[in-house]
Chain A
Amino acid sequence: MAKDVVCGKEIDEDQARAQSSQTSFGASEVDPTQGTRIFHDGQWLYFCGLDCRGKFLASPETYLA
């Protein structure tokens, strides 16, 4: 499990990345309720949603300290 560094909620990385459906041209779709992520300094960080990710992006050093 990963931890949302903003709110502290635990995020299941496998669920956040798991295919829930497929687009008409074969791209994998994920369940939006399982959280989001960002590739930051060479690693994926997971968040419960866009709000927490937005706060992180506004001040990464605050949350990675």
Chain B
Amino acid sequence: MDFGYTSDQQDLRQQIQAFMDENVTQGLLDEMEGGEEGGRGPQYRELVKKVADKGWIGISWPKEYGGQSGSRIDQYIVEEEFMRRGIAVGGAGSGAPAILAAGTEEQKEFFIPGMIRGEIIFALGFTEPQAGADLAGLQCRAVRDGDDFVINGQKMYTSAAHYASHIYMMCRTDPDAPRHRGISIFLVPMDTPGITVRPLWTIQSDPPAPPGTTYGMVRTNETFFENVRIPASSMLGEENGGWYVGAMGLNLDRVGASRYLISVRRDEDIVNWVKENDFNGYSPADNPAVRDKLAEMWTEAQVCRLMTMRSMSLVNRDGNFTYEGSAEKVWAPEHGVKTTEAISQMLGPYAQLLSNSEENIEDGLFAHNLMGSFQSGINHGSVQIMRDQMARRGLGMPRG
């Protein structure tokens, strides 16, 4: 068993790094701190176009839909290198896996090439004010009316709604069915009449978190649907089969660099900082307690990396895995919290100075990470829900 990369993959990594040295400018990073377009302003869109022209988005997606039918590991390398600079491109967390698995030919031909070109961005519309961890309690209704559905309800924490072109949303289509069986998924254009977005400013908004912060989004939203009429062809998968499509899609979206790097980047950031800086007149790299803690964190990070590699290997072979994504979703955020706590102990009060403090470290990155790391254990499926999934799917235990 070889856990290393091939020479072609190492070449790919070097090409990406060289590309980013040339194209990830300070102007782009400054733009990414802005909230109105979620960091996806004109310079970001220009970068995505260049990345798409390189053939680096959705490498593992099928050729017939604009991808390259390539290795999931290659795609991971793209995601990893861009995420190290705080830039989400490459294909992870996009909704594409669910569309490829459950979509109609028409949906695949429309959405996948659009996502590769960076022209289609999905907001995730699952959580509701009264249904988050208990997602099956969602109440947003979609009622069939001839060849259409009419949606009424609201979604909460639709973090991409202010820059998304579409929303990938769960609705209740059969209120009389058992909770998990009366749900369908719809792919809805954000400019459909009746959709309104209400901004919610996060703990990271004032002062704004620097690029690369764990859960550094300055803005999230709630989104309302009032008599939103959409064609029945907007449905992804079978009517009332949305729970299973959604769960499968979420699991696949968890595979890749985003989960691994969301916490491991913290280890890399502090190791790099410790090696390159003096702190209060001494080199922290010479401090045995600091060295010991960093080595411990690094070891834990390698567990996370191996879990990610195993998931991608499974996806590469048959596209089917059950609890592995959930396991990563527990390990990585909890490791990230431990890391940010350890960094706070190393840096003392400096770890609390935010981006607008003149004496901050690394533009306040470690302080903003301290706030964001705890969020990573809640978003996109809490660690408690993930443990429940592992108990059922991985260990064969009954539903609790």
Contacts and interface: CB of A to CB of B under 8 A. Distances in A.
B324 interface: no
B374 interface: no
Nearest to B222: A36
Contact of A29 (B121, B139, B141, B198): B198
Given A50-B200, A57-B130, 9 more contacts: A23-B162, A25-B190, A26-B190, A27-B191, A27-B197, A29-B162, A29-B197, A32-B199, A39-B152
A25 B165 contact: yes
A33 B314 CA distance: 48
Contacts of A37: 154, 224
B273 interface: no
A54 interface: yes
A47 to B, nearest CB: 10
Interface in B133-157: 139-141, 152-154
Contacts of B130: 57
Contacts of B196: 17, 19, 27-30
B154 A25 contact: no
Count chain A CB atoms within 10 A of each CB in B139, B198, B223 and give the residue with the most: B198
B231 interface: no
**Minimum-distance CB pairs A-B, first 6:** A26-B191, A27-B190, A25-B165, A39-B153, A57-B130, A28-B196
Interface string A15-53: 001010001111111101000111100001000001001
Contact size class for A? 20 to 34
A50 B128 CA distance: 12
Contacts of B206: none
Nearest to B201: A32
B37 interface: yes
Nearest to B167: A27
Nearest to B121: A25
A32 to B, nearest CB: 5
A39 B198 CA distance: 15
B163 interface: yes
22 contacts: A23-B164, A23-B190, A23-B197, A24-B40, A25-B121, A25-B163, A25-B190, A26-B191, A27-B190, A27-B196, A28-B195, A28-B196, A29-B197, A29-B199, A30-B196, A30-B197, A30-B198, A32-B198, A36-B222, A39-B141, A39-B153, A39-B154
Contacts of A54: 129
Given A29-B198, A32-B200, A53-B129, A23 B154 contact: no
A32 B153 CA distance: 17
Nearest to B139: A39
Nearest to B153: A39
Given A17-B196, A28-B196, A36-B198, A23 B163 contact: yes
Nearest to B223: A27
B309 interface: no
| Max chain A Cβ within 10 angstroms of own Cβ: one of B139, B195, B222 | B222
B30 interface: no
Contacts of B140: 39
Contacts of B152: 39
A64 B196 CA distance: 26
Contacts of B189: 25
B64 interface: no
Nearest to B140: A39
Count chain B CB atoms within 10 A of each CB in A25, A30, A37 and give the residue with the most.
A25
Contacts of A39: 139-141, 152-154, 224, 226
B183 interface: no
Contacts of A32: 198-200
Given A23-B163, A36-B198, A44-B226, A57 B129 contact: yes
